Structure 1
């Protein structure tokens, strides 16, 4: 139950990133966040049962709407740590694809659990003028009253803001995934990790 709750909180939190992607725009960040969350969730409205039965449609929606907001190459490098430096170009490409598919499945399924009984409080983005690395914060309140802080770290890539790390509560995405992956790499090697991820998280995309 806790894992599922974290999944949908994180999934919704990913959708909150758009305000930070448009810091220079006149529209207030909290307004942009509400519009973005509503846009994603409205495309799922009345279709949750259908999307559960046809997960490929769900994965395509997440891939189209949310994945472009993530700096996948850099995040992949961070979560692999030392293994990234010794990986072949082919292994890096395959890991990045498998990692993307893992995120699509995990947070796409998490979004299916979100409903209107949850509340999101958006925090103002505070950054120095000209900053190229910012933190975006929000607080998600579940239907049982539990408040969970959500943060995302973003930096500029080719003129656009993209996520490279974040946290739900005190759990950093990068730190969490790095610990999981490094443990598997130590026991079976990088190639085995990639093959396992490719087998488990193939979205068919």
Structure 2
């Protein structure tokens, strides 16, 4: 399910891009400006780095770790993905699930970013207002002449706009995981989600070692 959702790999690059730490305050004043600035920047950075294009996972992972954490709300992403089961978890379990889910997404993103080559991004008009605290930025990625729908959900916080969800070809990341998490909780409880995420992260770590 993870691979199928993330095959349009620029969704990954764009989500990572939305956390670019070098963007100025002016560039991040609106969700649209943030997405435009950082997506273009990150794509250019990867395209100009032969190590990342060659699949240097350690280098890509370091880039993702440095850029995504300050500007993404992983707890909100996890809470939405868990749905009604979030309230069944203790605060300690919520923290573990959030950390493991974050690790899974980062490791998955790292492998996909290496595939960036000659793609371009087209931005659809954004009609939000300055009073908005939640925004959806709609774009499409042109990959070998074919458009791929790619949307972002962001929320406005005291620390600025934060990305918390992406939509690839009509499928929101959080919704895609929600069904799996709900099934696991129904069969194994909240601890089952933790074990599933931990097992998957171990598999990915061993595959890259």
Q: TM-score normalised to the size of structure 1? A: 0.82
* Runs of at least 5 residues in structure 1 that lack an aligned partner in the other structure: none
Is it true that 1:125 corresponds to 2:130 in the alignment?
no
Aligned to 1:22: 28
Partners of 2:77 and 2:86 in 1: CA distance: 11
Q: Deviations over 1:26-53 (max 9, x none)?
A: x7964554224323x15743443361xx
Aligned length: 196
What is the rounded CA distance, in whole Å, between the counterparts of 2:27 and 2:82 in structure 1? 25
Cα distance in 1 for partners of 2:199, 2:59 equals: 19
Partner of 1:37: 43
Matching residue of 1:13: 14
CA RMSD of the aligned region, Å? 2.8
CA distance change for structure 1 residues 15 and 60 in 2, over 3 Å: closer, same or farther?
A: closer
- 1:49 partnered with 2:51: no
Q: Structure 2: 5+ residue runs without aligned partners?
A: none
Cα offsets for 1:9-39 (capped at 9, x unmatched): 21122145368971359x7964554224323
**TM-score normalised to structure 2 length:** 0.80
Asked whether the equivalents of residues 75 and 174 of structure 1 are also in contact (C-alpha less than 8 Å), the reply is yes
In structure 1, what is the equivalent of residue 107 of structure 2?
A: 105
Alignment partner of 1:81: what SS? helix
Aligned residue number for residue 198 of structure 2: 198
Aligned-partner SS, 1:95: helix
**In the alignment, which residue of structure 2 is the partner of 1:152?**
152
| 1:191 to 1:24, Cα distance in 2 relative to 1, 3 A | closer
